[in-house]
Amino acid sequence: MNKEKKTLIVFLVVVVYLLALVGVLMSFSISFAESEKLSINLFIKQLAYVGIGTVVLVFFSFFNHHKLRGLAKTIFLLLFIILNVLLFKGFEDLHRWIPLGLMAIQPSQYTYLILSLLIARIFSGPLDDKKLSKLYLASYLIIAIVSGLIVFEPDMGSGIITFLSSFALLFVSGMPLYEFLTFSLLGASGIALVLPLSAEWSSRLKAWRNPYAYQTGDALQMLQSIRAFARGGITGVGFMRSLLKFPGYLPVSSSDFVYAIIGEEIGLFGCTLLIVLYVIIAFIGLRVAKMAKSTFSMLLAFGLTIGLISWAVVNMAVNVGLMPVTGVPLPFVSFGGNNMIANFASTGILINIIRKEVG
């Protein structure tokens, strides 16, 4: 293994585990706001999720990613069936999760990975220039339908991230600019039409535009999140000294709003460090895509990187009030297993691409 391969892999692994370490520490801190018993459970669960993620990372690091190319359509078809079953049948009236004992599976968290795999598979094969426009249209419809299924679970945040990250990959695959702009307009129109159909999302948008009119309702999380950042200042109030993590202050502080608690405890310094870590992941992922020897690997690396960073950007934007509350996790940091496993899988695949095709 040459020096550049080693450097990329080491940096990627170190950055990912630094983020995971922050997540474990914040889970430990936040959990003590409830009770000692909960703290032990929350902390151990987060450690377990990182452990499972590590096993997944190691597996995909050594599993030849080219074998995934032949499985892409089958994996996507399975995902599509599951999303339809969840939406129209549901499991115990839950339309997002498949309960499996100790852990429930949330398919929407894996969708960016699976769509990246499918799109890379489609546009890495022999392409007929005369049918290329139809292929882009078909791919766009697949992305729109899958994203729509997630939106109507309802999970607007994951649906929008799935749509935007997958659509961006279509552009990377070579979609002409005029088609990209046309489909962008269609996508924006679709989102504009869907939003009013949900009373929840309509109220969230109103609260985002005028938060102080809804400060005890839909704007509560956003305002409390901003207060957490303000309280933390530049250096933070200190590890485990957050006030906003306690019940009655900032709901969902261990997952969707963990970035705000980081801002309160570690301050602007800690928040900036996290941004730097995600920028490093983005740089490595795009570097891997650029250096990949095959079109499939290039598109897959782009898709995984765009998808992973999209989660981080949206979560942070929500936490600082730049977007309406969407309820999406911060990769490797937020408490929870599904996003953690999906992101560790993506990291493992990137490592395998580095091992097989870089240098």
Tokens 């409830």 correspond to: 34
Query: What sign does the dihedral 201-203-205-208 (CA atoms) show?
Result: negative
Strand, helix or coil for residue 98: strand
Q: Which amino acid is at 165?
A: S
How far is the C-alpha of 32 from the C-alpha of 43, rounded, in Å?
A: 10
Distances in Å between the Cα of 116 and the Cα atoms of 32, 188, 302 are 38, 21, 8
Tens place of pLDDT per residue across the chain (359 aa): 688 788 899 999 999 999 999 999 999 888 877 654 445 678 888 999 999 999 999 999 999 999 999 999 999 999 998 888 887 765 555 567 777 766 778 888 999 999 999 999 999 877 777 788 889 999 999 999 998 888 887 788 888 889 888 999 999 988 888 888 888 888 888 777 777 766 777 788 888 888 887 777 788 889 999 999 999 999 999 998 888 888 778 888 888 899 999 999 999 999 999 999 999 999 999 999 999 989 999 999 999 999 999 999 999 999 999 988 887 899 999 988 899 999 999 999 999 999 988 76
How far is the C-alpha of 321 from the C-alpha of 77, rounded, in Å?
A: 37
Q: Comparing C-alpha atoms, which of 52, 155, 125 is closest to residue 295?
A: 125
Q: What is the DSSP letter of 108?
A: G
What's the token pair of residue 39? 């703290």
Q: Comparing C-alpha atoms, which of 347, 281, 267 is closest to residue 312?
A: 281
Distances in Å between the Cα of 318 and the Cα atoms of 93, 291, 346 are 28, 33, 23
Q: What is the DSSP letter of 102?
A: T
Backbone angles phi, psi at 103, to 5 degrees: -140, 140
The packing angle between helices 3-31 and 338-357, to 10°, is: 170
- pTM, two decimals, is 0.92
